[in-house]
Structure 1
Amino acid sequence: MRKLIYGFGVSVDGYVNDRDGRIDWTEPDDELHQYHNDRFRGLEIAVNGRRLYELMAEYWPHVPEDAPPIQREFGELWTRTPKVVFFRTLTEVHWNSTLVSENAVEEVRRIKAEGDGVMEVGGASLASALMPHGLIDEYHLYVSPIVLGGGTPMFPALDQRIGLRLVETRRFETVMLLRYQVD
Structure 2
Amino acid sequence: MGKLIYAANISLDGYLEDETGSFDWSVPDEEVHAFWNEHERHIGTSLYGRRMYETMRVWEDDDWLTDEPAVVREYARIWRDADKVVYSSTLDEVSTARTRIERTFDPEAVRWLKDTSEADLSIGGVSIGAEAFRHGLVDECVLLLCPVTVGGGKPALPRGLRLDLELLDHGRFRNGVIYLRHAVRNAT
TM-score between both structures, scaled by the size of structure 2: 0.91
Structure 2 counterpart of 1:97 = 99
Q: Which residue of 1 aligns with 2:12?
A: 12
Q: Identity across aligned pairs (percent)?
A: 36
Shift of the alpha carbon at 1:116? 4.1
Check conservation: 1:3, 1:116, Cα contact below 8 A.
no
Q: Residue 182 of structure 1: SS of its match in structure 2?
A: strand
How many residue pairs get aligned? The number is 181
Could you say which residue in structure 2 is the equivalent of 1:125? 127
Tell me if structure 1 keeps the 8 A contact 2:65–2:72: no
Matched, 1:86 2:87: yes
Paired amino acid for 2:60: P
Contact 1:132 1:158 in 2 (8 A): no
Aligned residues of 2:105 and 2:128 also touching (Cα < 8 A): no
Is contact 1:21-1:151 (8 Å) kept? Answer: yes
Please say if residues 6 and 140 of structure 2, whose CA atoms lie closer than 8 Å, have aligned partners that are also in contact: yes
Deviations 1:85-140 (A, max 9, x none): 11011111122111111333233122112124211001111110111111000011
Work out whether residues 29 and 173 of structure 1, in 8 Å CA contact, stay in contact via their aligned partners in 2.
no
Tell me what 1:27 maps to: 27
Give, in whole Å, the separation in 1 of the partners of 2:117 and 2:81: 19
CA distance in 2, matches of 1:104, 1:143: 30
- Cα separation, 1, equivalents of 2:49 and 2:138: 15
Mark the runs of 5 or more structure 1 residues left unpaired by the alignment: none
Q: Counterpart in 2 of 1:52?
A: 52
Q: Residue 86 of structure 1 contacts residue 104 of structure 1 at CA under 8 Å; is this kept in 2?
A: no
Q: In 1, Cα distance between the equivalents of 2:134 and 2:160?
A: 7
- Tell me the distance in 2 between the aligned counterparts of 1:21 and 1:106: 31
Structure 1 residue ranges (4+ consecutive) displaced by more than 4 angstroms after TM superposition: none
How far 1:46 moved relative to its partner?
Answer: 0.6
Q: Which runs of 5+ in 2 are unaligned?
A: none
Distance in 2, matches of 1:86 and 1:104, equals: 10
TM-score (norm 1): 0.93
Determine the C-alpha separation between the residues in 1 that align with 2:86 and 2:101.
5
Q: How does 1:36-51 map to 2 (within 5 A)?
A: 36-51=36-51
Looking at structure 1, the residues matched to 91 and 160 of structure 2 have their Cα atoms a distance apart, in angstroms, of 28
Give the aligned partner of residue 178 of structure 2: 176
- Aligned residue for 1:167? 168
Q: Report the secondary structure of 2:65's partner residue.
A: coil
2:60 corresponds to: 61
